[in-house]
Each structure stands twice: as C-alpha cells, then as structure tokens.
Amino acid sequence: MKCLLISLQSNAYVAGLKYLAANIRDKGHDARVLLLPGYLEPTLNPEVEKFIRDYSPDLIGISLMALEFYPSKNLTRLLRERFQIPVIWGGVHATTNPEDCIKQADYICRGEGEKVIVSLLEHLRGKGADCLPEIPGIWARRDGRIVRNADSPPETDLDALPAQEYLPEYYYGFHNNRIYNFARDPSLFRRYALYGGTCHMTITTRGCPFICAYCGNSSLAKVYGREVRKRSVENCIEELRRVKKDPYVLYINFQDDCFFVHTRDWMKHFCDAYKKHINLPFMARVIPSMLDREKLFMLKDAGLSVAVMGVQTGCDRVNFEVYNRKVHFSTVMKAAGLLAESRVAPYYEMIVDNPYETEADIMEGINSMSMLPRPYTVSLAHLTFFPGTSLTERALKDAKIDPEAYLTRFMVNIDWTYFNKLLYMTPFIPRYLIKTLNRRETERNTFHTLFLNSLFFIVKRTIEPAVFFFVIARGLKYNVRWTVRTVLGNWRSAFAKILFNFLGKGDMEFDKRLKLARKEMPSLFEK
C-alpha cells in the first residue's frame, strides 16, 4: 500500500510527517512526503496531478495546523475533482478541532498517527474504503454517516518508532510549477527550510507537564494525557549520528516543550554520549521553574549554545489570572541569572496583543523585562486563541475575540503598537530610555511617539542584528568556524526577519495568498 503525506505549511520543517512516513515504510508499506507551501490555487496544478497519478497512492494524508485549515479544505476539494483516493487529515488542528475537520475529509486522525495510519492502510487493503473502520484514533465519514472511534492511546515506547531522517530520499517539494526531489536537490530544500536548513530539529520527549490556559497543549492533553514520555539516550544519539553525516547540518534544535524535564542521570548520560558522538552546538527549550543549575552546566559543556525560554509576560497578575501559568517573575529572574552565568545565549519568548492586559500590566511587564541581565534577545508572538483552551472559552464568553481569527493569522504577525515596539527593544536600549518611554497613552506626546518609532527603526536594522550575532558567537564559545558557518547558513532567514518583521518571505507570500483567496474564492471560507 502507498501513502502520500502532504504538508501545506510555508517551510520544510515537517518532522511529524517524516516520523509517519518512516513508520509506514518500516511496516512494509510505501510513503512519500510532499511539500505544497500554502497551496490556495483554484485548480490543481498539472504537475501536482501528474505526480499523484504516477505515484498512485492508496491514501492521501494532509497534516495541518490551524493556519492550514483553508488550504487543506481547498486541496481536498481539488483532489476529489481528479481522484477517487480517500483523504485523511491529521496533525494538531485535526486533534483539537475534529468536528470541523471531519466535515472536509474522509477520515481524520485524532492524536498520534504513526500506528493509526498503518492500521488504516491495512484496513483499506483488506476491506476497502466502503467499509467504515473501527480503528481507535480514526474518525470516518461516508455517505453522510460519521463514525467517531475512541481515541488511540498515546505511544508510550518512543524507542519503538523509527527515527526521522534529516533529508529522506522520499521527500519532495513543489517549486515554480514543478515538483523536485529534495534529496536530489538539497539547495532547493534549504530555500524552504527554517534557518536555511542548517539545523536538524528533533524531540526527545512528547507531552508537557503544564496546562497553561492559552496553550494548545492544554487541548492536546485531553487526548494524550499529561505524562511526559521520553526516548532513551541511545535512541536519540542513534538518530543524531545518522543526521551528522550530512555536512550541511551545523547544529541540533531540540524542540521539546522543556528539555529539562529529563532526570539528572539521563542528562549526564546524554551529555557524555553527545560530546563523544555528535559534538555539534545545539539549542533547547526551558521552562523557568524547571531550570536546574547542574543540568544547565552539564549541557553547556556538551554544546548547549542557545536556550529558548518562555516568559510570556513580565506581569505576575497576567501570568496567574489570565494564563494559568504559575511562574512568578522572580523565578524568571533567577533562571535568567543562571543563563547569564553559564553564558548560554538566552532567547525569551513573549506573548503580546492580549485583550485581558491593562496598560498597567503591559508597563509592568516592560519594566520587568528591562531588568533581565543582558545580553539577550526576545521574540514576540500574537496571543492566538486556539480551540479547546480555557482562555479561548473565556474570551468567547466575554465576546473579546473573533472565533475564526486563529485560522488566518500567524502568531508572529503581531500588532506593532507603541508598547510592543518598546517591549521588543528592551534588550537593546538603555534602561533610562525604557523608563522614559514606558508611559500611559494619556501621558505621551508627539515627541515620545516619533522618538520611539525612530529608535525602533534603528534598533531593528542595526543594534538587534549586532547583539544577536554577539550572543550567538558567545554561545558558540567564540568558535570561529562554528560562528561563520552558522551566520552564513542563516543569512537568508536573518535578512528576511529584518525586512519583514518576523514573518519570513514564505510566510508573507502565504499571508498574501490567503487574503487573495478570500476575495477570489469566497465559498471556500463559508461554514
């Protein structure tokens, strides 16, 4: 049996589909992965149609986050016009919003899909598409009838799953009206890959121990539970040893919600093995309350160069009462002090555009962030109200949001308000300037606005890139070879960030296509 797995996102980071494909192939079936970035065309491109006909899959899978809902709906319509191949939707959006998704596809996978999709392929081989499957984790629709099977239990033995590859030979991409095999044209892959394809993104765990009110993980926990499942050190290192064979991989990006959830024994074993077999710089994510000094310095010695830490807000009231995130800013300060001591490059993630924040809350958050030890950089994200979270339910009840907005807006596409610009500049300008500019709207005059806007332009295009270069170089222990290769490999991403205010070129094009499609294909956006 053959399965074609399609991603519609604007970048080539498709770890979930690579895991699925690896498991499908491991179980004796065949799979290909196809990247169709933001496909919102009114007709199916002849090259895409030819690729599908030549491959002749028995099942087509579409993986989607919320932003890919309308492109997925559009592509499914186009596929039905040309083929009689069943379509399954999976991914985060199919898991958190299954009722809307099952209206569009023949099947949806609710939850982890490695074993589920193999079971569906075997069902199609044995019983065909006319027989509705009784497979945990699968919802099915046929002739107006919907079968909602029970959720599939999450995979507990992550070592039992085949590892994903950095650039598998079965990975294809649609570019300039042609389909290319990325493994045969790696330079094209790097055009679509995050960070220019210089890093391999992987995870060592699945799950998050927290249920923050705004986070999609709180919805996923209803399906997966709150237990954090872990891979063994040997399993992780084996994947990375294969990845390291590609000379273009400069560093490893661990995407775990919190890498520090591992025990000290696991961490020590990992650091010893990583230094011996991999010895590449890497980055990892951390929750402030879980940052441990001993683990941090072990990781630093093994090659940790960048730590991504979710701060979300510098105001305790918002963290506790709005986000249900029980982390005092004093804990953030302590964690930031440890990062400064270790000389790991800190990258702090913040949430903005929150309708529940007052001016006083925002001003407190800016003051708090300005007190963190420098150097550091920040990333701002628009507060997105994902379905199934407690904060979304609260906001809908309070009539504060458009319930459909999360389907069409990138999280990094923030509102560039006075306060957001000032928050963005907190790592880069003197604290006395922050204090001078951090004032209520009623206390500002034309000078404050003009000065802040001028300063923002200068900071974004000169100071911020310089500071970012410095913290990366320091995080890499001033290793000239590593630093030069990292900068050269990431220059396109960095340049796009300077030009487009966090949205990369692919994201900008996706954004424009979505707006154009709303005008040209209004029926696509109807309920």
Dump the DSSP string for 212-277: -TT-THHHHHHHH-SPPEE--HHHHHHHHHHHTTSTT--EEEE--S-GGGS-HHHHHHHHHHHHHH
In a domain, 79, yes or no: yes
Q: Is residue 484 part of a domain?
A: yes
Residue 501 has a pLDDT of 47
List of residues 6+ apart from 515 with CB closer than 8 A:
none
| Residue 478 backbone zone (phi > 0: left; psi -120 to 50: alpha; other: beta) | left
The answer to whether residues 226 and 91 belong to one domain is no
One domain for residues 360 and 498: yes
Domain boundaries, position 144: 2-158
pLDDT score, position 247? 86
Beta bridge partners of 380: 350
Predicted confidence at residue 124, as pLDDT, reads 96
The first and second tokens of residue 123, run together, are: 């069902």
Judge contact between 5 and 91, C-beta under 8 A: no
Residue 201 located in a structural domain: yes
The answer to whether the CB of 74 falls within 8 A of the CB of 520 is: no
**CA–CA distance, 527 with 516 (Å, rounded to integer):** 18
Quote the distance between the C-alpha of residue 299 and its chain's center.
23
% of residues, the chain, pLDDT over 70: 95
Helices (H), ranges, 244-358? 264-277, 293-302, 316-317, 329-342
Helix (H) or strand (E) holding 370: helix 359-370
* Low-confidence stretches of the chain (pLDDT beneath 70): 475-476, 485-508, 527
Domain boundary among 158, 185, 209: 158
Alpha carbons within 13 angstroms on the beta-carbon side of residue 332 total 27
Q: What residues contact residue 124 under an 8 Å CB cut-off, 6+ apart?
A: 1, 58, 59, 86
Output the domain CATH number for residue 100. 3.40.50.280
User: Does residue 256 sit in the same domain as residue 366?
Assistant: yes
173 found inside a domain: no
Is residue 285 domain-shared with residue 137, that is, in the same domain?
Answer: no
User: To which residue do tokens 């034309």 refer?
Assistant: 446
Q: Does residue 452 lie within any of the structural domains?
A: yes
In the chain, % of residues over pLDDT 90: 70
Regarding whether 199 and 142 lie in a shared domain, the answer is no
pLDDT at 59: 98
Q: State the pLDDT at residue 499.
A: 43
Assigned domain for 180 exists? no
How big is the CA angle at 323 (ends 317 and 328), to the nearest 5 degrees?
Answer: 50
Distance CA 244, CA 283 (A): 15
- Give the count of beta carbons closer than 10 Å to the beta carbon of residue 73: 20
Crossing angle between the packed helical segments 464-475 and 480-500, to the nearest 10 degrees: 150
User: What's the CATH code of the domain at 415?
Assistant: 3.80.30.20
| Orientation angle between helical segments 15-26 and 114-127, nearest 10 degrees | 50
Instruction: Note whether residue 184 is domain-resident.
Output: no
Single out the residue of 395, 397, 404 nearest to residue 97, CA to CA: 404
Give the number of other Cβ atoms within 10 Å of residue 283's Cβ. Answer: 22
Q: Are residues 140 and 285 in the same domain?
A: no
The pLDDT of residue 403 is: 86
| Total structural domains within the chain | 2
Question: Does residue 218 share a domain with residue 147?
Answer: no
146 and 202 share one domain: no
Q: Are 237 and 273 in contact (CB under 8 A)?
A: yes
pLDDT, residue 209, reads 82
What sign for the dihedral angle of Cα 323, 13, 191, 484? positive
Same-domain pairing of 142 and 206: no
Check whether residue 414 and residue 340 sit in a common domain.
yes
Q: H/E/C letters for each residue in 123-140? A: HHHHHCCCCCCCCCCEEE
Last-in-domain residue among 158, 180, 207: 158
> Residue 43 falls within a domain, yes or no?
yes
46 and 101 part of one domain: yes
Q: Are residues 337 and 473 in the same domain?
A: yes
What are residue 62's DSSP bridge partners?
Answer: 6, 89
C-alpha dihedral over 474, 479, 481, 485, to 10 degrees?
-20
